[in-house]
Amino acid sequence: MSNPIVAFQGEPGAYSQEAAQTHFGSQVQTLACESFQAIFEAIRSGQATNGILPVENALAGTVAQTYELLMEYDFRVQGEVILPIHHNLMVPPGTALEDIQRVRSHPQALAQCAHYLRRRGWQPVASYDTAGAAQELAANPVLHTAVLASRLAAELYQLTILESSVEDEPHNSTRFFVLGTEDIAPTPGEPTKTSLVFTFRDRAGALFGCLSAFAQHNINLTKIESRPVRGRAWQYWFFLDFEGYWSEPAVEAALVELLRQATFVKILGSYPASNEGPKPA
């Protein structure tokens, strides 16, 4: 793809921007957006060619709003990025470790570093965004205050990293979807995945019938999760990831069988699989 413009949620230096650079290259042009929905609107309006959104975190689980927006807009998942999340303690130049009394960041980042902060005796202070906290501290240094954010944020806002990778769980990572307007043709021999959503009539064996379509064709499922259907109490969407591209004969056969069993099926996209991904379900 030539000269992509990738929309992401947050301030420059956000982990989503880091994921965009991981996928498209460090020189990719990015567009910061206030919300997840603004990413979809940026693609629809032509401001951006692509978007990148978190879909699940190894510790916090699924990002429900991303899936809701994938249902609302007709874009395609073109790729996935598994980004290790490393929180770094950063301060304005000249601030020493012993000067710190409070640490600002997004509530999720603070929670992921809770034991670290408690051991140090520092007060956690919630902010709307990790990179936003870094940007604000750089613009308006506050005495005795540090932030938790990405290494990219420290570089952009010229903050000093005092300690790196201070998260309590070393295996924390976030999975992102890369969005676009069209399907991406697979590279021969490259592992692929497909993501879709389906629902069915509530009857005995209905879910088994839907999933058995994949077992019959020896297709490995890597994720299944249910989400409530908005506005319809006690009814659910089922989101499914599996190995393979939608046009492969075995996958096509499984999808035909799924269509017989389900009342609704929407393919979100087929895309290259990340080398680092969730283990098979």
Residues annotated as part of the active site: 174, 176
Residues contacting 167, CB < 8 A, separation 6+: 85, 86, 87, 112, 113, 116
Q: What are phi and psi of 210, to 5 degrees?
A: -65, -45
Q: Report which secondary-structure segment, H or E, holds 118.
A: helix 114-120
CA dihedral 53, 85, 60, 275 (to 10 degrees): 70
State the CB neighbour count (10 A cutoff) for residue 8: 29
Q: Report which secondary-structure segment, H or E, holds 6.
A: strand 5-9
Separation in Å, CA 19 to CA 144, 157, 228: 31, 18, 28
Q: Report which secondary-structure segment, H or E, holds 232.
A: none
Residue-wise burial string across 49-84, b where 16 or more C-beta atoms lie within 10 A, e elsewhere:
bbbbbbbbbebeebbeebbebbeeeebbbbbbbbbb
Q: Which of 182, 181, 178 is nearest to 272 (CA)?
A: 178
Can you read off the two tokens belonging to residue 98?
A: 């012993």
In angstroms, the CA 229 to CA 232 distance is 6
What number of H helices and E strands is found in the chain? Answer: 9, 15
